[in-house]
Amino acid sequence: MTRRQRKRLYHILVLIGVGCLFTLVTLLAQPFYTINLWFSDQLFTSEPPSPNIVIAGIDDDTLETYGRWAEWPRSLHAQAIDNLNQAGAKVIGYDVVFADNSSYDETLATAIAEADNVVLAAVGIPPVSRTEDGIAYDSFLLPVASLEQAASSIGHANVVPDGDGTVRRLPLIVVDSSSGQVYPSLTLAALYRLFSLPLPQEYVLQDGALDLLARDVPVDSSYRLRINFSADNEQRPYVSYGDVISGNFNQSLVRNKIVLIGMTATGELDAWAIPTSASKIPGVFIHAGAMDTILTQRFLREPGTSITLMIMLLLIAITAFALPRCGTRHWTDMAKGVGITAGLFVAYLVASFLAFDRGYILDLFYPLLLLPVVYVSNIVYVVITEQSDKRFVKELFGRYISPQIAKEIVSRADSGQLQLGGEEREVSVFFADIRGFTRISEQLSPEAVMQMLNAYLSVIADAVVQHDGIVNKFVGDNIMAVWNAPQSQPDHALLAVKAAWEAQQKLAELRQRDTRPIPVRFGIGVNTGVAVAGNVGSAGRSEYTVIGDSVNTASRICGSTPGDEVWIGAETYNRTKDYIETEQLEPQQMKGKAEPITLYKVTALRPVATQSEDRPSSL
């Protein structure tokens, strides 16, 4: 596997890891719970309410006409029931509890019994708990006995909001924890009476649904129905309860309909927040919405955590394999990544709306939040790896040219000066090559020759670097180093000589450990003079180096130097004579030189104390 392939694999694994960690946290800890619920609320579309359910509201006008609710004689309710019955109402449901005895209970009971279609409400009293049989209450507030016996059925009127206070679900059954009695909701009791069917003896939850009214009604583990609310409750058929009592209402409005009677007056406590309304609505509208959902079979199903997990894992897989292929080096690469993320975002948003139209409420917030999280993680990873790549390239670059040259190239590139050409500088140039290299290479395999060169040239290169020189190039068995270019070094000549002398000492130590039959010996030559330092080559490929007569002379000196020795030119000697021990050699005739040149053999470095004594004192 190549380095690029490993990088892409790591990139993919990092994105998968981030995505899976985010998924695990969101599905287990449920952060932003309220925001998540709010997002699902935005899926509701404008659907007209069913015309088969009519609200008879105990509104402000009714209370103004008949006085405070607690002071009403129940004969008024008997009169209302008679009027609705005569108008042909199919079911009359009361979202109020007649829990206290009154002097008109017999009158009301008679009216209820004669109508034979009245469903009365009971209310579970908190504390509330959740059991395997559903939501349970410690006790119930029931209608007085005479009214309970006269009613066709009793249904609970409890409304249980979600954690954010919004009502999205209605429990179709609740349990009296003290007696084990199961109470159907007012919604179910009214619907069963509408179809003239007896209420079920038991409620069996199978595959997330209840078999009710020849329908598979989807509920959660607490037997709660997700209500598909109408977008505008003001469109629901409505009549004032005061008009019902007086008989001054449109009878055709209620004929063969379910009439739900409940408190709608301003300031009453029975008001709840729902997903499709900016203001709270009376509880009777919630029961009407639940009836609508069952009657029209516009059921809403919540696929659950497993489906959300599968969706998020699919999004993770797509982004984790797609984003690493985009990169961020150019704005077009960024556009690709943004396009993929935005495309998935829009696609999932559209899919969520289409799924909602088919009755499925997909988790909207967490999968959509996952996409920017993975994308940002992708950007962070790319930035980090690019920094790592820069370090890698710098290290790789440094294997072939010195760090100083690399720094100079980068500096010139940043300033727009990376062009062919150079400047005159006084430099000290160091050459070293193997004596008898041809004979050595003939007796060794190519692999052994390469191993030998790497071992010995590394020793020389280390000595150069330790003395602040730059390794300019390797040519076969030859190594070239330079001082005072590109950076200024006042004592460049001495640094070059020290590097040469130390390299010979280290080479001698390496040779003692070397088991090759022919000893490897280097001759090293150093010369100081003016040269041109800069970029040499072509527009397509160039290198930073030094050229000039002083460089050629250094190469010639190296070619004449015997193995294990260091020879230096006259200018180098003049600059370093106070710090080194030398032997003057016979003038040497060099190729390209008309006159012989004087050279010096370095025999030792003077101790530091001696060097200090030889330096001229400052006045």
405: confidence class by pLDDT, cuts 50, 70, 90: low
- What pLDDT is attached to residue 617? 40
pTM over 0.75: no
Type of residue at 458: S
Q: Which residues contact 599 (CB under 8 A, 6 or more apart)?
A: 557, 560, 567, 568, 569, 570, 584, 585, 587, 588
Coil/strand/helix, residue 137? strand
Domains defined along the chain, listed by start: 3-41+303-395 (no CATH), 53-296 (no CATH), 402-613 (3.30.70.1230)
- What pLDDT is attached to residue 370? 95
472: confidence class by pLDDT, cuts 50, 70, 90: confident
pLDDT of 468 above 70: yes
pLDDT of 618 above 60: no
CA nearest to 236, candidates 213, 259, 256:
259
Type of residue at 90: K
pLDDT in tens, 583-608: 999 998 888 787 889 999 999 998 86
- What pLDDT is attached to residue 273? 92
Asked if 597 and 587 touch (Cβ cutoff 8 Å), the reply is yes
- Peptide bond between residue 303 and the one before it cis (omega within 30 degrees of 0): no
pLDDT of 514 above 50: yes
Distances (CA, A) of 160 to 157, 210, 304: 10, 19, 20
**What residues pair up with 583 in beta bridges, in sequence order?**
601
What interhelical angle do 105-115 and 75-87 show, nearest 10?
Answer: 10
Q: What is the mean predicted confidence (pLDDT) over 381-407?
A: 66
Asked if 128 and 97 touch (Cβ cutoff 8 Å), the reply is no
Asked if 302 and 359 touch (Cβ cutoff 8 Å), the reply is no
- What pLDDT is attached to residue 444? 85
pLDDT in tens, 162-171: 988 999 999 9
Q: What is the DSSP letter of 616?
A: P
396: confidence class by pLDDT, cuts 50, 70, 90: low
- What pLDDT is attached to residue 592? 76
- What pLDDT is attached to residue 416? 52
